[in-house]
Structures are given as C-alpha cells and as structure tokens.
Chain A
C-alpha cells in the first residue's frame, strides 16, 4: 500500500537555525498538509496546500513557516528561525480529495531545538 514518507525521522537543530522537513506524499494525491504535535499534547493543524498554493493555515503557521512543493514529488515545511517551542513531532499528510477522502499520514519528524 502506498505510504507517505517523511525525512529525517529526527532532526536536532540549534535555536535560530533554519530547518527543512521533507515529505513525499502518495503520488496521485492532490492535497497536502502539515500538522505538529508537541509532546503530550494534541495534534495541531498547521497548513494545507493544493494546486501549488496554501489553501488554509492556522494561527500557528506564522511568517516563520513556509511550505513548498519544489518538484512533482516532495512537499517541504521550512521553519526559518527555530525557537525552543518549535520542538515537536511534525506530521505530513496527503489526500486524494477533500471531505470524503481520508488523510494518509507519515510517521513524522521529531524536531528538537536546543
């Protein structure tokens, strides 16, 4: 069964550094998402992306964050200047459609900001 893959599985970075988290969605999916989960807390929506543009974003997704689909397969989340509070699991997801289509999640990237 096709999977969403995320790399790296664990990223350690220093505060103030830029970090890029990478995702390869399922190949025929059209909608892409990033979520994060701070340790012990709930899964939080960050952003959704369709047709090469952001379609929805939450309050968490401020100017420090950006997303890109640089080629036909990768979907990236960039954090420009990391803060300690950005430490979390980041999950990428993709879906074929909206509403009636399930989201398929990757296993996440654990970001640790020191």
Chain B
C-alpha cells in the first residue's frame, strides 16, 4: 500500500485559502488519490478525489503533481466549519483503505 506523509497540523485564518499538502511517493499508477476529513465527534467525510488531472468540486480543489507523487488539497476560503483532520488516501481496486494520521487544520477567526 502507498505510504503518505502529511504535516501533523496547520493553521489558517478564516476566509483565507488553505493548501494542505500530501506526499505519496510510492503511489501506484492505478491508485486514485482521495481526501477525507473528520470533524470533531463525527465520522470521516469524503472531500474530493482524482487520478491525474486537477479536480474541483463544491467543497475544494485537488491539485495533483505531474508525477503523482504528491497532491494538494485547496480550500479556497477557510471557514470555522472547515476545522477538521484531513486525510489523503491512495485508493485502488484493492479494498484496503488505510487512514494515516492526517493533518489537523485549525481555523483562526
């Protein structure tokens, strides 16, 4: 399984953009890069995923490096509700979806 490296914690001011990095240098060619977040006292929540191209949805954008060894989750305007632990997870057709320790995002009002 691909190993991921994320900063333990990050801070952002409210209404500013946040870039959350993830290194996944051992990712295989068929792994999708998924991002999930876990708000306090809740289950993990899907944010976004992609394979090679950058992706946008209503929650965030995902920028994937050309060599796919890293990706960045972009929250365009952080709100207090975005304070959570963010996980990047390479996923493939095997069913082993393992969470790492993630990045704990603090949003400062």
Contacts and interface: CB of A to CB of B under 8 A. Distances in A.
Contact of A56 (B32, B38, B87, B96): B96
Interface residues of B, number: 26
14 contacts: A42-B102, A45-B98, A48-B95, A48-B97, A55-B95, A89-B43, A91-B43, A91-B44, A93-B44, A98-B94, A100-B32, A100-B49, A103-B34, A104-B46
A33 interface: yes
Contact of B92 (A31, A99, A108): A99
A99 B44 contact: no
A102 B46 contact: yes
A32 to B, nearest CB: 10
Contacts of B45: 105
B17 interface: no
A48 B92 CA distance: 13
B44 A98 contact: no
Interface of A: 31, 33, 35, 42-45, 48, 50, 55-56, 58, 89, 91, 93, 98-100, 102-108
A55 B31 CA distance: 18
A9 to B, nearest CB: 11
A35 B95 CA distance: 12
Given A43-B38, A105-B45, 11 more contacts: A33-B95, A44-B99, A45-B97, A98-B95, A99-B31, A99-B91, A99-B92, A102-B49, A103-B36, A103-B44, A107-B42
A99 B33 CA distance: 9
A35 B31 CA distance: 20
Contacts of B98: 45
A105 B43 contact: yes
A43 B44 contact: yes
Interface string B33-69: 0101010001111100101000000000000000000
Nearest to B102: A42
Contacts of B92: 98-99
